[in-house]
């Protein structure tokens, strides 16, 4: 029996790590931006994040190891719409500092979520520089709407 702590592998080099992470982001993760109703001096509270949910904890543990020291893993139960059963689902979440570390390194390898990653990097730049709230707020809202549109599921 494989222990959870023993799961995972070593990357042969740095580039292979970033390629692997970009594949997980493209296939299994969401790059998003939340807007909190609580207002700050700047306006809304903007929360850029990456989230990856899985019923297989080994995948998330490897992602956590690769993005060390950033990111958190949490678990909850989720009801499957198909059979009504409750499954344990774990979620890896990465916020601003982790995104500042990871996104520039995976950007060249992203295929599906390259635009969202580029927009989130712009958000992180805006939130770091701290220009006047009125100047930033309109651009942040525009980016938020773009990311929401890009993340909508397309019905085939």
The count of other CB atoms within 10 Å of the CB of residue 143 is 20
Question: What are the φ and ψ backbone dihedral angles of 117, each rounded to 5 degrees?
Answer: -65, -40
The count of other CB atoms within 10 Å of the CB of residue 62 is 18
pTM: 0.82
Question: What are the φ and ψ backbone dihedral angles of 118, each rounded to 5 degrees?
Answer: -65, -45
What is the average pLDDT value for the chain, to the nearest integer?
85
Instruction: Name the pLDDT band for 94 (thresholds 50, 70, 90).
Output: very high
Q: Report the C-alpha gap between 120 and 27 in whole angstroms.
A: 18
Output the pLDDT for position 138: 85
Q: Which residue has the higher pLDDT, 60 or 41?
A: 60
Q: CA 150 → CA 32, 56, 62, distances in Å? A: 10, 26, 27
The 10s digit of each residue's pLDDT in 96-145 is: 999 999 999 999 999 999 999 999 999 999 888 765 666 788 889 899 99
**Model confidence at 8: pLDDT above 80:** no
Question: What are the φ and ψ backbone dihedral angles of 54, each rounded to 5 degrees?
Answer: -160, 150
By the 8 A CB rule, do 50 and 146 touch?
Answer: no
Q: CA 33 → CA 61, 65, 122, 128, 144, distances in Å? A: 23, 24, 12, 15, 6
């Amino acid at each position: 029996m494989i222990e959870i702590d023993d799961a995972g592998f070593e990357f042969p080099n740095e580039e292979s790590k970033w390629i692997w992470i970009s594949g997980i982001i493209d296939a299994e993760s969401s790059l998003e931006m939340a807007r909190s109703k609580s207002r700050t001096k700047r306006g809304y509270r903007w929360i850029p994040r990456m989230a990856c949910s899985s019923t297989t904890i080994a995948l998330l543990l490897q992602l956590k190891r690769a993005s060390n020291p950033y990111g958190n893993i949490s678990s909850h139960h989720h009801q499957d719409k198909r059979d009504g059963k409750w499954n344990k689902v774990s979620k890896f979440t990465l916020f601003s500092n982790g995104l500042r570390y990871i996104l520039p390194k995976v950007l060249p390898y992203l295929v599906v979520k390259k635009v969202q990653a580029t927009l989130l990097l712009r958000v992180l730049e805006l939130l770091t520089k701290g220009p006047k709230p009125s100047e930033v707020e309109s651009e942040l809202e525009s980016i938020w709407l773009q990311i929401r549109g890009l993340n909508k599921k397309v019905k085939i």
